[in-house]
Amino acid sequence: MKKVIMGNHALSYGAMLSRSQVIAAYPITPQTQVVELLSEMCADGTLNAKFIKVESEHSAMAACIGASAAGARAFTATSSQGLALMHEMLHWASGGRLPVVLGNINRAMAPGWTIWTDQNDSLSQRDTGWIQFYCASNQEVVDTVIQAFKVSEALAIPSMVVLDAFALSHTYEVVDIPDQAKVDAYLPPFNPPYRVTPDDPRAFGGLTGPEHYMELRFKLQKDMEKVLEMIERTGREYEKQFGRYLGLVDDYLCDDAEIILVTSGTAGYTAHVAVDEMRDHGLKVGNLRIKVFRPFPFEIVRRLTQSAKKIAVVDRNISYGHHGIFAQELKSAIYGHGDCKPVFGFIAGLGGRDITPASFREVVDFTISHDRPEEEIIWIGVKK
């Protein structure tokens, strides 16, 4: 069934179709519609779930952790300051190996108070042990939530499904809402091997000394390494059921490109349009939109950038005192593999400033006209 819905409701539909059993959430702009629709679905019986209206994001994730530990499928959504407040509990969910799925609307961090998009909120959670998906369309949001539960539950690692504030959260698009029966066939009920129950009394997460702790983290990393293959496999399964492949990246005209744009989120869709325009002008440009950021898809990124002469990474985020974060990741992915090609790191669109096709033309013009980046960061559209 096709519907015109906003990105936030795409998250709600994803959570509903996945038959989330416990939802615990706290409101924050621009996430509110996600939980408003879910609370209506719970109230009118469309979704058989318990909706816990907690008093903070910290408690939202704590309640999801408790529910997941008891064997229920748990979902929450937040943004920016809310995600930052959850930080401690993000570690708890992944360390506890609980497959919670969280929708995060990318919103820049205060101060100054802002509600507009950039990726510093979710990228600050890079090392919490969560799978991170960055979406570029409402269709991708619905589909990815369903896939995220499947991957997370298979490997006992939580997932974050990320979308841009307003550019996607409040943008209405046509979405093919998957058929519930087909989703049920794709995503069976959550059935973890261990759960908190008096029938099988265990202590979860107790005091762990140096003789055991490292192995727990080793196992988490080893399972994290299986995620990429699992995403590709479940992405193919999804394609069989629903006709849409859900992969690690969205690559466009990368094969013969001399310059490859590396993008993420909705800016990646804009880049796609800009590439078409530039190709019309004879410029050999391609776009590699990275969808899965954690674990980082090293191999596919290396393969797709192999023949390019230069790589231009456009980051809607910054690691202060270093680079844009995707630029760092790109360099670490290609270092020591083949020719050492220049990676140009651009930063654009912080705090919701528009990234337009013209921004990408500027990026490509700079990249063509310079042999080397010369500076660690090349700023786009900033008043210096």
Partner 1 sequence: MKKEKKMTLTLPVEELVGSGNLACQGCGANLALRYVLKALGQRTVLCIPACCWAVIDGAFPHSCMSVPIYHCAFETAASTATGVKAGLEMVGDLETTVVAWAGDGGTFDIGLQALSGAAERNDDIIYVCYDNEAYMNTGIQRSSATPTGAWTTTTPVKFPKDRPKKDIDAIMAAHRIPYLATASISYPEDVVKKTKKAKSIKGTRFIHIYAPCPTGWKSRPEDAVKLGRMVVQNCVFPLYEVEHGEKYTLNMKIKDKKPIDDYLKLQGRFRHLKPEQIKLMQEEVDHNWARLLKKCESA
Q: Which residues bind partner 1 (CB under 8 A)?
A: 21-22, 24, 49-50, 52-56, 58-60, 62-72, 74, 88-89, 92, 195-198, 200-209, 212
Q: CB-wise, 189 or 338, nearer to partner 1? A: 189
Q: State which residue, 64 or 355, has the beta carbon closest to partner 1.
A: 64
3-class SS at 133? strand
Name the amino acid, one letter, at 329.
E
**Which of 67, 141 has the CB closer to partner 1?**
67
Quote the least distance from Cβ 91 to partner 1, whole Å. 9
Give me the half-sphere count of Cα atoms (radius 13 Å) on the Cβ side of residue 352.
19
Give the Cα separation of 170 and 29 in Å (integer).
11
**Residue among 27 and 381 whose Cβ is closer to partner 1:** 27
Task: Choose between 21 and 287: whose C-beta lies nearer to partner 1.
Answer: 21
Diameter of the chain by CA atoms? 68
Rounded CA-CA distance 32/254 in Å is 37
- Smallest distance, partner 1 to C-beta of residue 43, A: 15
CB of 320 to partner 1, least distance (A): 28
The minimum distance between CB 72 and partner 1, in angstroms, equals 4
CA dihedral (140, 71, 59, 126) in degrees, to 10, reads -50
Residue type at 60 in one-letter notation: A
Least separation, in Å, of the C-beta of 99 and partner 1?
A: 13
Q: Strand pairing of 101-106 and 74-79?
A: parallel
Q: Is 260 exposed, middle or buried (0-12, 13-18, 19+ CB in 10 A)?
A: buried
